[in-house]
Amino acid sequence: MRNVLAIAGREMRSYFASPIAYFVIGLFALIFGWFFYAILVLFAEQSLRMGQMMGPSSLNVNQMLIRPLLLNASVVVLFFLPMVTMRTFAEEKRSGTFELLLTSPVTDAQLVLGKFLGAMALFAMMLLVTGLDVALLFWFGNPEWKQVASAYLGLLLMGGAFISIGLFFSSVTRNQIVAVALTFATLLMLWVINWVADSAGPTLRAVLEALSITDHYDDFSKGVIDTKHIVYYLSFITFGLFLTAKSVDSERWRG
Write the pLDDT tens digit of every residue in 90-126.
Answer: 877 777 776 677 677 778 888 899 999 999 999 999 9
Highest mean pLDDT (candidates 1-10, 109-118, 214-223):
109-118
Q: Can you tell me the mean pLDDT for 158-175?
A: 92
Write the DSSP symbol of residue 143. Answer: -
Q: Can you tell me the mean pLDDT for 48-53?
A: 65
Handedness of CA 53, 57, 63, 66 (dihedral sign): positive
Residue 61 has pLDDT above 80, yes or no: no
How does residue 162 score in pLDDT terms, banded at 50, 70 and 90? very high
Q: Burial level of 141, CB count in 10 A (0-12/13-18/19+)?
A: exposed
- Identity at 181, one-letter amino acid code: A
Sorted by where each begins, the domain ranges of the chain are 2-254
Task: Supply the pLDDT for residue 110.
Answer: 86
Q: d(Cα 50, Cα 59) in Å, to the nearest integer? A: 8
pTM: 0.89
